[in-house]
Amino acid sequence: MDRLARAERARQIFDPHSLAAAGLVVVAALLFQPRPGPRAAILLGAMVFTWATGRKVPVLGTGLVILGIVGANLLVPVGRVLAVWGPIRVTETALLEGVEKAVTFEALIYVSKAAIRSDLRIPGRPGALIGSALRCYERILETRIRIRRATFLRDLDDILLGIYDEELSKTPGRPAAARTGRGGAGTVFLVLAAAAAWVPYLIGALR
């Protein structure tokens, strides 16, 4: 099953409002969880769910961002020295804090990618603006971006203006391209997934 087929199937199974609510519950579990292991598990689960629902999962980019955050945190040495590479001292506290920050940041990114869909409808004018922003955000994520160094700003402007013009050309009453899920197995799965995100925290709190 290719990516477009996975995305179509996900739209049929999962209701966008239930998906967004489950995402909020998982984000709360992530932020309350003090240990890096469960946070990493939430990240991996969000990456798998993102892939299963037809979204792009740039594994290499994710790894580079994690390495960048950890590396930046190591610039301020704190704690026991684990290794020395020239002028760089790898310290225990700075390393652990860097890994925790990186995993938390990427987990938030992937949970939002998995839980927020462009067909999420919020009533009122503010809801319409939010919906428009979500549709533009999804188009940016799904667009294959080609930017050249010599024309960086112009290429970036062309991409963003193209997405904006595409959004303006859509009529407010335009029907959705695919039927969205309502209840059933999708909602049960989301409830179980959101509950599972809280299990490590609750086990630690009860000890």
**pLDDT tens-digit map of 109-158:** 899 888 887 677 766 666 666 666 666 666 666 666 666 667 767 766 77
pLDDT of residue 28: 94
Collapsed DSSP state (helix, strand, coil) of residue 204: helix
Cα–Cα distance, 113 to 119 (Å, whole number): 13
pLDDT above 50 (res 174): no
φ and ψ at residue 124, rounded to 5 degrees: 85, 170
pLDDT at 132: 63
Report the pLDDT value the prediction gives residue 193, as an integer from 0 to 100: 93
Question: Between residues 194 and 172, which one has the greater pLDDT?
Answer: 194
Q: Shortest CA distance to 16 belongs to which of 202, 198, 179, 193? A: 179
Instruction: Identify the pLDDT of residue 151.
Output: 72
pLDDT attached to residue 176: 44
At residue 192, the pLDDT reads 94
Is pLDDT at 170 greater than 60 in this prediction? no
- Mean per-residue pLDDT for 7-27? 88
Max avg pLDDT among 7-16, 99-108, 123-132, 136-145: 99-108
pLDDT at 103: 94
- Cβ atoms < 10 Å from Cβ of 181: 20
One-letter identity of residue 112: S
Q: Read off the pLDDT of residues 39-96 as tens digits, 9 standing for 90 and up.
A: 999 999 999 999 998 888 888 989 999 999 998 988 888 888 888 877 778 888 888 9
Looking at residue 38, what is its pLDDT?
Answer: 92
- The structure's pTM equals 0.75
pLDDT at 175: 45
Buried b (16+ CB within 10 A) or exposed e, 89-122: ebbeebbebbbbbbbbebbbbbbebbbbbbbbee
Nearest of 47, 55, 64 to residue 6 by alpha carbon: 55
More confident residue, 133 or 180: 133
Distance CA 122, CA 143 (A): 25
- 84 has which bridge partners? 89
Q: What is the pLDDT of residue 77?
A: 85
Helix spans in the chain (H): 3-13, 16-32, 36-52, 59-74, 92-115, 124-142, 152-168, 185-206
